[in-house]
A and B are shown apart, each in its own frame.
Chain A
Amino acid sequence: MSHPDRNHGPPDEGLIHAWLDGELPAAEAARIEQLVRDDAAWAAAAAEARGLIAASERIVGLLDHVPAGVVPQAESRAIRPARGAEWWTWRAAAALVVVIGTAVVLRDAPPEASSFAAGDAPKKLAEPVADSQGSAAMAATAPTPAREQSGPAPSRDAASRNEAQRRDAPEAKRMLADAATADAARAAASSAGSGAAGAVSTTGAVSTTGAISATGVRQAAPSAAAAPVPTMLGAAREERSERIARAPDSTLTRERETGVPPRLAAAQQSTLAKAAAPPALECYAPVGGGAVVRVVRTDATSAIEAPVATPAAGAADRRARLAFSIVGDTLIPRGAGAPFARALRTACPAP
């Protein structure tokens, strides 16, 4: 850094900028101040420097397309309850529609439909746990008997089995209704997020608890026990499998390949997704465009998927899973900051 000589000399721009930036020691600053006061050239240079500093700050400020601190905590607190309430309402309404729809379908169903219901929907109850979560939606959107009758005529053995199933239809209806109710209630409980734990346990159904504590710590215990399979349902399942195996119909062929009637596949998938358990995360307040999340569950895969597996996170935030870094017990997002921040403030309220 040059210093002005005793004759003042030409103004030193660097020195003047350092002086205006407050970076000079007190003695040197006092000297520059004196120069600016006494020398017109230094005064003009100081005035110009002030202008340049102001102009450059304004120009640099123009570059801020997105202001820093994109996740103000007050905003996250304001958004959280509204979204939670919205989810609750929709899920509860969907559960109610499923229950009522199932009851109406079973009440009004002709004997052929009862045969189908006994032969198909209970089969889904006998599936592994993950599959059973979609049984409510499947029952509500079961295909019509006409489609089932489009296949080849049933054999005498099959006919006798169908007759047996008609006799047992009331029992099947009751079990199907129970299962649909349990599934709907479980889906509503798992998505409630209201601070209260919900538990559902019915005959042959799974038990799930989900809770979000008042401190903003989201915890979940998505364990589910395998459902016992009643003997009648097992027989019906076998009969259904035989029919599918024999059917030349293209629709049933697809069903044979996938194990799920095509018309029900979408509903099943949607229900399974909605019933996904919330992640086990302890959330810190989102800061700026990023955030720090302490991983409660030690399973690395779960930790990586957790923020986007939250039902409230929404499909638009899937990009958030692109990159994370796990350092110790800290999960740090590395990509698509804004989508992640949005997902996080939805999933994890500020403390």
Chain B
Amino acid sequence: MTAEADRLFRTYHATLVRYLTRRLGDRDWAEEVAQETFVRALRQPPTSNERSWLFAVANNLVRDEARKSIRQRSHLQLLAAEERERESSGPDTGEEMTPERAHEMAMARRALDSIAERDRQALLLKAEGLDYDEIAGILGIEKSSVGTTLSRARRRLAETFDALRTGKSGLADANTGRTGNTGDAHVAS
């Protein structure tokens, strides 16, 4: 079992955490979900396509996580804040977060928030290298509609980001119909 767990971690952990981080906007939350996903994979090993299985489980966990109590979410947010603070003061901080980069990241997050949940998931799954079959299986849609879903998501993302960057925030808000960056908002849509 340990060899299998090791292989699963080596193969999928990075991509799963990246996917979840992009989706949730919270690295700690993403890692929490990813680790719980692997726990479930170890308890009940996936029988067919393990990558699809892992991403589907992660998606379900995100949905379930959103239903948990505010107290638990507050705890995770506290951990995230502590971690951010620690990392910002630690000696091995990674890439420097300049104000410009932070601004771009915020715009990217806002643009991603602007698209529908299913479109967002398809976009992020594709970014992790999943093929149309896998995306269709995870999202429960027809393979023939994945291209359309992706084209819609990409267009909305790019247009909203461009609108935010050029200062047309009104247009962006009109497109999104909402603002903010909370994990719950991702899931609720």
- Listed in ascending order, the chain A residues whose CB lies under 8 Å from chain B are 1, 13-18, 21, 23, 49, 51-53, 55-57, 59-60, 62-70, 284, 287-292, 294, 316, 319, 322-323, 325, 327-330, 332-339
Contacts and interface: CB of A to CB of B under 8 A. Distances in A.
A66 B31 CA distance: 12
A65 B13 contact: no
Contacts of B58: none
B5 interface: yes
Contact of B10 (A21, A59, A287, A323): A287
Find the residue from A13, A15, A62, A332 having the highest chain B CB count within 10 A. A62
A70 B93 CA distance: 11
Given A68-B21, A339-B86, 5 more contacts: A59-B157, A288-B9, A290-B13, A332-B42, A337-B35
Contacts of B64: none
Contact of B1 (A51, A53, A329, A336): A329
B35 A290 contact: yes
For chain A, what secondary structure do more than half of its interface residues adopt (helix, strand, loop), or is it mixed? mixed
Q: How large is the interface on B (under 10, 10 to 19, 20 to 34, 35 or more residues)?
A: 35 or more
A288 B22 contact: no
Nearest to A45: B151
Contact of A328 (B9, B42, B105): B42
Interface string B78-90: 0100110011000
A292 B17 contact: no
Greatest chain B CB density within 10 A among A284, A288, A338 is at A288
Interface-centre pick from B10, B31, B149 (highest chain A CB count, 10 A): B31
A292 B35 CA distance: 10
Interface string B93-114: 0110100000011011101100
B150 A333 contact: no
A68 B39 contact: no
A334 to B, nearest CB: 5
Most chain B Cβ neighbours within 10 Å, of A65, A289, A323: A65
B53 interface: no
B146 A18 contact: yes
A67 B97 CA distance: 12
Nearest to A326: B39
A288 B14 contact: yes
A292 B2 CA distance: 8
Interface in B147-189: 147-155, 157-158, 161
B32 A335 contact: yes
Nearest to B144: A1
Contact of B105 (A65, A289, A327, A336): A65
Given A67-B95, A69-B14, A17 B25 contact: no
B131 A62 contact: no
Given A337-B28, A339-B83, A339-B86, A17 B109 contact: no
Contacts of A284: 2, 6
27 contacts: A13-B147, A14-B147, A16-B151, A18-B132, A21-B126, A21-B132, A21-B150, A23-B146, A53-B154, A56-B153, A56-B158, A59-B111, A63-B22, A68-B15, A68-B18, A287-B6, A289-B31, A290-B34, A325-B35, A332-B42, A335-B31, A335-B32, A336-B28, A337-B27, A337-B31, A338-B28, A338-B31
B158 A287 contact: no
Max chain B C-beta neighbours (<10 A), residue from A59, A290, A291, A322? A59
Given A287-B6, A319-B79, A64 B21 contact: yes
Contact of B39 (A17, A67, A325): A325
Interface of B: 1-2, 5-6, 9-10, 13-15, 17-18, 21-22, 25, 27-28, 31-32, 34-36, 38-39, 42-43, 79, 82-83, 86-87, 94-95, 97, 104-105, 107-109, 111-112, 123-124, 126-127, 131-132, 143-155, 157-158, 161
A334 B86 contact: no
A189 B111 CA distance: 57
Contact of B112 (A60, A66, A294): A60
Taking each of B21, B126, B143, B154, which has the highest tally of chain A beta carbons within 10 Å of its own beta carbon? B154
A338 B83 contact: yes
A335 B76 CA distance: 9
B53 to A, nearest CB: 17
Contacts of B2: 284, 292, 294, 328-330
Most central of A284, A292, A319, A336 by chain B CB within 10 Å: A292
Most buried by A among B13, B42, B143: B13
